Amino acid sequence: MNITLEKMNFGDLQSSLIFLYGSDVAARNLPFKRDETAYLEARRKEDASSLVVFNRLPHKIYVQNFDSELPTAESLEKLRRAAAAIQKMLSDEKVQRVALAGEGIIPEEMVAFLEGLHMANYRFDKYKTKKDTLLTDVAVDNLIVEPNVLEENLRLWRRIDRCRDWVNEPVMYLNAPLFADLLKAEAERLGNVKCTVLGQKKIESLKMGGLLAVNRGSEDEARFVVLEYKPADRVNKRPIALVGKGVMYDTGGLNIKPGDYMLEMKSDMAGAATMASALFAAAENRLPVYLMAFLPMTDNRPGKNAYAADDILRMYDGTTVEITNTDAEGRLILADAIAYADQQNPALIIDAATLTGAAVRALGTCAIAAMQQDAASAYNLLSIMGDQVCERLVQFPFWKEYDEMLKSEVADMINCNLGAQAGTITAGRFLAHFAHHPYIHLDIAGVAYYAKREHFYGVGASGFGIRLLYAFFQMADQLKA
């Protein structure tokens, strides 16, 4: 979708118009007739968030009312969701070009609406013969948004779309080696990101027992990708380490997933895609924050010499792990990555992973299940940013008592507690064992991929978490590093 800034002349519109109608308007600036204005006022009194459509053949004016007196985060989220509803109407009506203006609004409100419109306009349709009609051009009133603000946000939104493409791509077209190649090419294109790809032999030499074990059932080699963005004007001397789960497809291994539980498992690499995308977004917009990403990649298959329950692995840091469930594979590859990242003396480690079904059962599709160890200040800032962009965190307890559920009779730990209790928390506690610097764990299982359309996130890969992390990076000067 091409978004441009233009001077608006309501008397000479060549396309349909979306008009944002805020709480504090000047009637003389409205592109409506007197009776239309009266009707709008009546509708606003009935419903401050109503949509009114005026037919001006051959075009239409879509007037989106909104209450700008609501708390800021709530008001902006309503605008994003309103944009998604309008995008669907425009798609159904085969509209491809619109103008966007408003009255009684501020730039942040226009940007939020554009954000919702852009994200809702995304489709993963490369394999469809008949495609939806989508918006191709949006002209925005240049009196409301500054060009540099629009460009920064466009780069972020396009980065989210690229992440969604990666997560939506079937494993037959995007396995671990191919994904590593894509990330390397993207880093080279940007020019300010260093990308190191560790192949199978290097992973073996490093003795990353978790990653190697999960990869044993696969025909495709594993990869471990390290990205580094280190700007000269960075506010943090030590990096923020981003660790992302890159299970390109998860069958469950020998503990194979039953029924339709294997559907959507191409999305099990959303953590890696999210962390790579967040770092690339910061680099593309040249945020003054030092970031590194550590991305272990493999698929989890039951073939060849697949690892099995009762196996005992020796992890990268020397910890021994008894396998109780091969479908708890994500924490194994993440553990090696966290231990490797820990050696880089980071100011903070944040991981993101589609890790547990328990997180989905606890929170549904509304929030990220989050935990922290020795990172209270950073977590509080991340949570505040989550509330602001409405990609929210719910903090789970992270008490050491949960470690009792991970004890093994024959090794240092088991990889998955037996029974159904505290599945999200114990998965996080397993990972926390490998982190010796401030650590935040984000279980994105409920929000990374939607089986049905979820307002502006759409259906399929959502990109949920990238806006959250980007907002957090913008506040990195508040972190002591």
Catalytic residue numbers read 257, 331
Decide: residue 83, CB within 10 A, 0-12 exposed, 13-18 middle, 19+ buried: buried
Of 86, 105, 80, nearest to 16 by C-alpha is 86
- CA 290 to CA 237: how far, in whole Å? 7
- Asked whether the beta carbons of 299 and 174 are under 8 A apart, the reply is no
What contacts 311, CB < 8 A, 6 or more positions away? 213, 322, 323
The Cα–Cα gap between 140 and 220 comes to: 47
Euclidean distance between CA atoms 241 and 439, whole angstroms: 9
Spatial separation of the C-alpha atoms in residues 35 and 41, rounded to whole Å = 10
Helices assigned H by DSSP within 93-146: 107-120
Decide: 377 and 481 in contact? Cβ < 8 Å: no
- Fill in the DSSP letter of residue 137: E
Tokens of 419: 């029974």
Query: Do residues 301 and 214 lie in contact, with contact meaning Cβ atoms separated by under 8 Å?
Result: no
Q: How many residues does the chain have?
A: 481
Helical residues (DSSP H) of 47-121, grouped into ranges: 72-92, 107-120
